[in-house]
Structure 1
Amino acid sequence: MTTAHDHRRLGRELELFDTDPLMGAGLPYWLPDGAIVRHALEEYVREAERRAGYRHVYSPVLGKRELYEISGHWEHYSGDMFPPMELGAEEFLLRPSLCPHHALIYRSRSRSYRELPLRMAELGGMYRSELSGVLGGLTRVRAITLNDAHVFCTLDQAVEEARSALELIGRAYADLGVRAARHRLSLPGRGGKYVADPGLWRRATALLRDVLDGSGIPYEAAEGEAAFYGPKIDVQIADPAGREATLSTVQIDFHQPERFDLHYIGADGAKHRPVMVHRSVIGSVERAVAHLVEVHGGAFPPWLAPVQLVILPVADEQAEPARALARHARDLGLRAEVADPAQGTLAARVRAARLVPYQAVIGAREAAAGLVAPRLRDGRRPGPLPTADLLRRVADRVSSRGSELWEHA
C-alpha cells in the first residue's frame, strides 16, 4: 500500500503500535496512545453489547486437544492452529476461536427455554499460525483479540437475533465513522474443508437469506468463504487502496450445538437443541484499529482520540492556569495535556497538535478573565469561552460518541 494513510506507517509515526523481532512477526505491541484507542474501542463495544442484552464472560486461551476435536477445529482447521503443547500425558492448544469455550459455558448447567435467548459476549484472545508472508501491521496478526459473542436461542428466535446483530453492527459503524463496502453471504466451496452435512448448510443458508432480505440489505453470495461449520454474513470493509477485508460477521450455526450436545428444557418438559448465533460487531480489535487509522488518517473521532484536549499557554505566566484546566478536564474523564512554551512557539505547538480534536489557547487576556480561546481540529475558532463552558461542550461531544466536533447552534 502506498497511500499516505497506510496504518503500518501512520500507526508507527503516531506511536500507536510497533513490533520487535524478538517478539516475532505478527505479534505487535501497543504503545500508550494506541492502548488508549484500543481501550476506548473495547469499552464502547462492551457498553453497546450490555445495552443490547449481552452478558460478558472470560474464558482461557488454552484448551485440551480433545475440545477442538469435538468442535471440529482439529479436523477442519488444524493447519491454521499452533502445534500442540505436551503437558504430561495431555496436549493443550492455543485456541483458534472462542466458540468452543462458550459452548462449554452454556452446557455448564441445565438451561430452560425461559432463559433464551442467552447472549454471551467476550473480548478474548485467540491465535492463528499465519505464515510470515501474509502478516502485515495490525490487519493480519498471530495473536488476535476478538470481539466475539454467541447467542443460544430457539429456532424461532434465530432470525431475529441475527437481524439484531446486524443492526448493532450498523450502529457501531456509524459511531466509528466507517462504512461497509458491501455485505457478503459466504457459502461453502468444494473440498474437505467443510463439514459434510448438506441439510445443515441448507437450513442455515436459508435463515441467513431471510435475515438479509428482511433487513433490506443488498448482498452478494460468495462460494468458498464460509466457516468450516456453516455459512455466514460477512461485512466487508475497504482500505484506502480499495482492497477488501472482512471486519464483522454474523453466523447461524446448527453444527456446534450438536457436537457439544447442547440442549434446553422446553415448555413441554422435553430436551430441545438450541441454535447458536455467532456474531462479532467490530471483528478483531487489531483489524478494527488498523481500519480506523486509515479511514481517519489519525484524526480520530473525539471519543477515540488519544488526546482529546491540548491546552496551550502563550507564555510561562499562563502555565499554572493551563495546568489547572488540565486537571479539571481529567477529573471530568477527558484526556488532556498541556503543551507548554518550552516546546516551541505557539504556532509550532498548534501544528504539533493538529490531530487533537480540541485546543485551548490561554494568553494573558484569557487568564485574567477566566477564559480560553478554543480551536477545533477542522480550523474553526468558536470564540473565547469560560473554561467551564469549554469543558462542558467537549465532554458532551465525547460522551455522545459521535464524530461531530462541536454542538450545533
Structure 2
Amino acid sequence: MYDHRRLGRELELFGTDPLMGAGLPYWLPDGAVVRHALEEYVRDQERAAGYRHVYSPVLGKRELYEISGHWDHYSDDMFPPMELGGEEVVLRPSLCPHHALIYRSRSHSYRELPLRMAELGGMYRSEPSGVLGGLTRVRSIQLNDAHIFCTLDQAVDEARAALELIARAYADLGIRAVRHRLSLPGEGGKYVADPALWERATGLLKEALAGAGVPYEAVEGEAAFYGPKIDVQIADAAGRESTLSTVQIDFHQPERFDLHYIGPDGSRHRPVMVHRSVIGSVERAVAHLIEVHGGAFPVWLAPVQLVVLPVSDAQEERALDVVRRAVARGLRAEYAGCGQGSLGARVRAARLVPYQAVIGEKEAGGDRAAVRLRDGRRPGTVEVEDLLQRAGACARARGGELWAAA
C-alpha cells in the first residue's frame, strides 16, 4: 500500500494551506472528480436500497445539542458556540439531531416504517492538532450518513441490511475490512447512564451481526455516548487501524426528541433510530482508496478515464474530435498534444489513466486508434466507436474491469 499523504499531493488530488488551517484540506480538480464519483456511487446504492435523501444545515442552536446529549457528553470535541442574534449557534458535530428534527416535523404512521433518511452532509469536530493528518483525520468532514426510523421488530433486519450494504460497497471499491468491532461503553461519565438501554441495543446489534454472518470482537470504551455500535475497521499503509463504516442502534435520541409514530392500535409509539454510514467520511474513504489503488483508480473513479495522444501535430484535429466524442458519451477525456513532449513522455505521464488512444497518420485516416490499457495490455488498433463503447461500459459497471466485452 501507499501513503495517501504523499501520493495524494503528487497526483494533485488535495492540498492544505496554513491560512485555511490544520485539518482543513482543499480538493483540487482531480480529487474533486474522485470525490464526486464516490458520492454519486453511494447515493445510487442508497436509492436502490430504499433511502431518500435530505439536506440539513451545518449549524444548530446550542439547545439542539443539549437535547440530543452532545453538549453534556461530547462538547470537548465540538467547536465553541458563536453568538448570533442573541442566540448561541454551534457547528454540528454529527447529523443525527438534524435528522431527528426532520422526522418529527410531521406525524408518521407505522405503515411508513422503516423510514430511511440519508444525507452526504458536512460536520465539524475540534480534533487536537496532534492527531490530524492528510485526509484521514480532519476537522471539516463530509459524512455519508443515514438514519432509519423503524419499529423495534424491524431494527435487527435494518441493521443487518446496513451491514450487507457496507459489504457490497467494499467489494465494489476494492476495500478490505480487517475486522468488525462491537463497540461497548467503558467506565466514566462519557456515556448515557441507562443500563437497560445499553443491554437492549447491544443485544439487537449482536443479532444483526449473527444474521449477517459477520464475526466480531467486543471492545469496551469505544461506543458512542448514546449507545453501542458496530465499527468496520480498515488499516492504512503503516498498518494503523481506523473506523470507516458504522452501524448503531439508538434508543436514546428518539426519547430525547420525543419521536413517535401512530401504531395499528391508533396510539403513539416510540421508534428505534438506526444510524449507519456505508463509507464513513468521504475524506477518510478517499484516503484509503488512494492507498489501496496507488492512484490507479478503477475506471469509474479515475479523474481522467481516457487520454488521446496524436503522434504528430497533423493528427491534432482528429485527436480533439475523439476527445469531444468521448466527453459527449460521459467519459472524462483529455487531449495530450505534441507540445507536452515526445510520445513516449506523454505515454509515461498518463500511466495511471485507464485508456490511452494513440492516433497516427494511419489511424486518423480510418477513425481508429491504437489503444493501450493501463495494465500493459494493448488491444491493438480499434474503431474509435468500439473504444468509446467499451470504456463507457466499464465506467458504468463500476467494477474493476478495463476492457469490456464487445
TM-score (norm 1): 0.98
Task: Tell me how far 1:218 sits from its aligned partner.
Answer: 1.1
Alignment of 1:279-290 (within 5 A): 279-290=276-287
Alignment of 1:238-387 (within 5 A): 238-387=235-384
- Of the three residues 156, 162, 165, the one matched with 1:168 is 165
Paired amino acid for 2:71: W
Q: CA RMSD in A?
A: 0.9
What are structure 2's unaligned runs of at least 5 residues?
none
Partner of 2:74, secondary structure, is helix
Moved >3 Å (runs of 4+): none
Query: Separation in 2 of the partners of 1:214 and 1:25?
Result: 42
Task: Tell me how far 1:331 sits from its aligned partner.
Answer: 0.3
Could you tell me which residue of structure 1 aligns to residue 220 of structure 2?
A: 223
Could you tell me which residue of structure 2 aligns to residue 206 of structure 1?
A: 203
Query: Separation in 1 of the partners of 2:147 and 2:75?
Result: 22
Could you tell me which residue of structure 2 aligns to residue 112 of structure 1?
A: 109
Partner of 2:377, secondary structure, is coil
Partner of 1:233, secondary structure, is strand
Query: Separation in 2 of the partners of 1:341 and 1:327?
Result: 18
Query: Separation in 1 of the partners of 2:280 and 2:268?
Result: 33
- The alignment status of 1:73 with 2:70, answered yes or no, reads yes
Deviations 1:176-211 (A, max 9, x none): 111111111111111000000000000000000001
Query: Separation in 2 of the partners of 1:404 and 1:149?
Result: 30
Could you tell me which residue of structure 2 aligns to residue 34 of structure 1?
A: 31
- Of the three residues 91, 99, 102, the one matched with 1:102 is 99
- Of the three residues 125, 128, 152, the one matched with 2:149 is 152
Query: Separation in 2 of the partners of 1:406 and 1:174?
Result: 19
Query: Separation in 2 of the partners of 1:388 and 1:88?
Result: 60
Conserved 8 A contact 2:12-2:28: yes
Partner of 1:256, secondary structure, is helix
Task: Tell me how far 1:88 sits from its aligned partner.
Answer: 3.4
What are structure 1's unaligned runs of at least 5 residues?
none
Task: Tell me how far 1:342 sits from its aligned partner.
Answer: 1.2
Conserved 8 A contact 1:177-1:301: no
Partner of 1:384, secondary structure, is strand
Query: Separation in 2 of the partners of 1:48 and 1:80?
Result: 31
Query: Separation in 2 of the partners of 1:45 and 1:284?
Result: 12
Task: Tell me how far 1:49 sits from its aligned partner.
Answer: 0.5
Deviations 1:366-406 (A, max 9, x none): 11121111100000001111000000000000000001111
Could you tell me which residue of structure 2 aligns to residue 236 of structure 1?
A: 233
Could you tell me which residue of structure 1 aligns to residue 43 of structure 2?
A: 46
Query: Separation in 2 of the partners of 1:240 and 1:273?
Result: 44
Count of aligned positions: 406
Query: Separation in 2 of the partners of 1:301 and 1:378?
Result: 11
Could you tell me which residue of structure 2 aligns to residue 392 of structure 1?
A: 389
- Of the three residues 196, 204, 209, the one matched with 2:193 is 196
Task: Tell me how far 1:240 sits from its aligned partner.
Answer: 1.9
Query: Separation in 1 of the partners of 2:15 and 2:26?
Result: 6
Query: Separation in 2 of the partners of 1:347 and 1:140?
Result: 39
Conserved 8 A contact 2:390-2:405: no
Conserved 8 A contact 2:244-2:281: yes
Deviates more, 1:165-174 or 1:259-268: 165-174
- Of the three residues 3, 8, 12, the one matched with 2:9 is 12
Could you tell me which residue of structure 2 aligns to residue 187 of structure 1?
A: 184
Paired amino acid for 2:342: T
